[in-house]
């Protein structure tokens, strides 16, 4: 096939213990999926149906062992951190049952759902889409994928984020309102999930601002850590 412009490189993530890479097709993010985070955002923690927003694959930034340095995003003065477990989909399916949903998971990783909170709030106030607040250049730093075949699934485990060495977010994966299987089952009623899709499974309480020059360190038990540094 001949293209009229040079095709771009497929966004991808490293796979722990392998030389091959996981190609990223699209990113689905579940909102308000930890009880305390729902409360801090002004909502109750009842198990109402989940909701999702998306990020493009080109918002993904692979983060390796040495971390990554990023430019502070454009058009925001209120950038926020949100630490999340990423879920890499390895099989195609739709209308998947929660009982079978984990069969569709290739593996898990550590990610950051970076948010231009000021732009998101403007969109909320005007009842417009959140895209400018959530989907922007380098909005989704992600660490390597740990295959479920070798590392198992992740029903629990500590998740935390430090900014300049100070803990800002911490919880347990068991604190999700909707677990990973339920997220997959729900989402697959609306989309055909395909290999390369990535789900960001929600963030704990403690989201807050990131300033120019800050260093973020995110951790999930069994999945490692990612370090993201912002230029001054």
How many whole angstroms separate alpha carbon 111 and alpha carbon 114?
9
> pTM value?
0.95
Domain positions in the chain: 28-230
Write out the H or E segment, with its range, that includes residue 50.
none
The reported pLDDT for the residue numbered 10 is 97
The reported pLDDT for the residue numbered 193 is 98
How many whole angstroms separate alpha carbon 122 and alpha carbon 93?
36
pLDDT digits (tens, 9 = 90+) for 2-51: 999 999 999 999 999 999 999 999 999 999 899 776 676 666 666 788 99
Over its C-alpha atoms, the chain yields an Rg (Å, rounded) of 17
The reported pLDDT for the residue numbered 67 is 98
The reported pLDDT for the residue numbered 45 is 60
82: DSSP letter: -
pLDDT at 206 over 80: yes
pLDDT digits (tens, 9 = 90+) for 95-135: 999 999 999 999 999 999 999 999 999 999 999 999 999 99
Query: Which one, of 186, 198, 167, 166, lies nearest residue 60 by Cα?
Result: 198
What separation, in Å, do the N-terminal and C-terminal C-alpha atoms of the chain show?
43
Mean pLDDT of 60-66: 97
At residue 67, φ and ψ (nearest 5 deg) are 75, -170
The reported pLDDT for the residue numbered 152 is 97
The reported pLDDT for the residue numbered 38 is 62
How many whole angstroms separate alpha carbon 226 and alpha carbon 200?
15
The reported pLDDT for the residue numbered 36 is 72
The reported pLDDT for the residue numbered 112 is 98
CATH architecture of the domain covering 28-230: Alpha-Beta Complex (3.90)
Dihedral sign, CA of 23, 146, 154, 92?
Answer: positive
The reported pLDDT for the residue numbered 22 is 98
Mean pLDDT of 180-190: 98
């Amino acid at each position: 096939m001949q293209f009229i412009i040079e095709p771009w490189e497929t966004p991808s993530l490293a796979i722990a213990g392998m030389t091959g890479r996981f190609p990223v097709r699209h990113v689905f993010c579940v909102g308000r999926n930890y009880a305390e985070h729902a409360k801090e955002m002004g909502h109750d923690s009842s198990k109402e149906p989940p909701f999702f927003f998306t990020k493009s694959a080109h918002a993904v930034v692979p983060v390796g062992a040495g971390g990554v340095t990023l430019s502070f995003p454009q058009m925001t003065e209120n950038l926020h951190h949100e630490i999340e477990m990423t879920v890499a989909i390895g099989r195609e399916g739709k209308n998947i049952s929660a009982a079978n949903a984990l069969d569709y998971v290739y593996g898990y990783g550590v990610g950051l759902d970076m948010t231009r909170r000021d732009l998101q709030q403007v969109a909320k106030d005007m009842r417009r889409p959140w895209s400018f607040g959530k989907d922007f250049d380098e909005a989704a730093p992600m660490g390597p994928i740990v295959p479920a075949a070798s590392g198992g699934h992740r029903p629990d485990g500590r998740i935390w984020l430090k900014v300049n060495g100070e803990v800002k977010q911490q919880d347990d994966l068991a604190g999700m309102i909707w677990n990973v299987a339920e997220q997959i089952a729900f989402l697959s009623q609306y989309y055909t999930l395909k290999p390369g899709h990535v789900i960001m499974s929600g963030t704990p309480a403690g989201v807050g601002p990131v300033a120019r020059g800050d260093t973020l360190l995110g951790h999930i038990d069994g999945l490692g850590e990612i370090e993201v540094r912002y230029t001054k």
